[in-house]
Amino acid sequence: MSPLSHKFFVYKFHPLQVDFWKPDSPDLVTIGMNVDIHVPAAQLDMVFTILQQSGMEVKVMFENLQEAVETQMDNKMATKAHDYTKYNNWATINDWVISISSANADLISRQVIGNTYEGRPMHLLQVKLCLCKSLNRTLYTLVVNYYDLKGLVFMPQDRMWRKTRSRNSGSSCIGTDPNRNFDAGWCTTGASSNPCSETYCGSSIESEIESKNLANFIRSNKSIIKSYLTIHSYSQMLLFPYSYKYDLAAHHSELLSVSQGAIAALRSLHGTRYTSGPGAVTIYPSAGGSDDWAYDLGVKYSYTFELRDEGRYGFLLPESQIKPTCEETMLAVKYIANHVLNNPY
């Protein structure tokens, strides 16, 4: 795609109600980039015309998204109990969080750090991973179900909802992109001030109660939080600061080295290949991310996982890939955790 075709593409796609999967919006499309979009049937002919006029090569990944959603569930019998190999709804996950912490009180403690806009509890689990006697330290992992609202409640069948559920003053469009809502170059690049956009940055920094709850907890405990990991999909990448600017982080060399070791550990199990690097140049620039915010706050080892896959299934990863994805990702998490333990600051 030529620079002229690129400008034409961006200009034409702005007024359309097309769901950009990768990148998040037409503004983030660059020359040579693979772009994944979800197109409503009513706009299909128009979109194909624009793509042809733009000189882009087109490949249809899903002829029918609803069929793809049903395939994602692998046609297995649904169960009411939590299942590590299935996509569970919010109520099931909530029950599991309470149950596992109660059943393992010697290893797991639970607290609520606040509620979502719709009043659902945001649980935090403190998990004692290991006793490192040689270092005379105990490693704890803090897990927050921050994104419980994204598709798990509002649209449990297709899981395509990516924003919060708050109402926006002066607009009928609902929600804010929570990963554009933090104080890290807020709303300067790769984010939108339009409430109807999937990348809407919110009316102000931490305008979303979910963002504020998480930020308040981290601010109150920043002296003991040494690493911040946020899990997303998709692209098979391990990203670190910065995403809101092209400047290298002060600890760039170490962050890069750790990320390379982590993705090597991940690849060792199932052969899945990840790319690592600063967010702005490795995937695309985006402001307001929680990882950049945590790093600027002083949490040195801040990383974002973009899990499987690279685009074949996108957000509709089949349930058959849940287990191997979790297995390999834990190897990367353990690698990072070991580095943090052995390199106190």
Residue 41 belongs to a domain with what CATH number? 3.30.70.340
pTM equals 0.84
Same-domain pairing of 145 and 255 = yes
The answer as to whether 66 is a domain residue is no
pLDDT given at position 148: 44
Is residue 306 part of the annotated active site? The answer reads yes
The active-site residue, picked from 206, 208, 306, 328, is 306
Same-domain pairing of 333 and 204 = yes
d(CA 200, CA 178): 9
Domain range enclosing 41: 3-60
The answer as to whether 71 is a domain residue is no
Same-domain pairing of 211 and 89 = yes
Helix axes 209-220, 290-297, angle to 10 degrees: 20
Same-domain pairing of 122 and 90 = yes
Helix axes 3-13, 44-54, angle to 10 degrees: 160
pLDDT given at position 100: 95
Same-domain pairing of 39 and 136 = no
Q: Provide the CATH number for the domain around residue 299.
A: 3.40.630.10
Same-domain pairing of 168 and 44 = no
Same-domain pairing of 164 and 19 = no
Number of domains observed in the structure of the chain? 2
Q: What is the pLDDT along the chain (345 residues), one digit of tens a residue?
A: 556 566 666 667 766 767 888 887 777 777 778 888 888 777 888 888 887 777 778 888 877 777 776 666 655 555 678 999 998 888 888 999 999 999 999 999 999 999 999 899 999 999 987 645 555 566 778 888 755 455 556 555 446 788 999 999 999 999 999 999 999 999 999 999 999 988 999 999 999 999 999 999 999 999 999 999 999 999 999 999 999 999 999 999 999 999 999 999 999 999 999 999 999 999 999 999 999 999 999 999 999 999 999 988 888 899 999 999 999 999 999 999 999 999 999
pLDDT given at position 241: 99
pLDDT given at position 33: 80
pLDDT given at position 260: 99
The answer as to whether 280 is a domain residue is yes
Same-domain pairing of 56 and 204 = no
The answer as to whether 75 is a domain residue is no
Same-domain pairing of 36 and 90 = no
Same-domain pairing of 40 and 183 = no
Same-domain pairing of 314 and 266 = yes
The answer as to whether 108 is a domain residue is yes
Residue 195, burial from CB neighbour count under 10 angstroms (0-12, 13-18, 19+) = buried
What's 144-180 look like in SS3? ECCCCCCCCCCCCCCCCCCCCCCECCCCCCECCCHHH
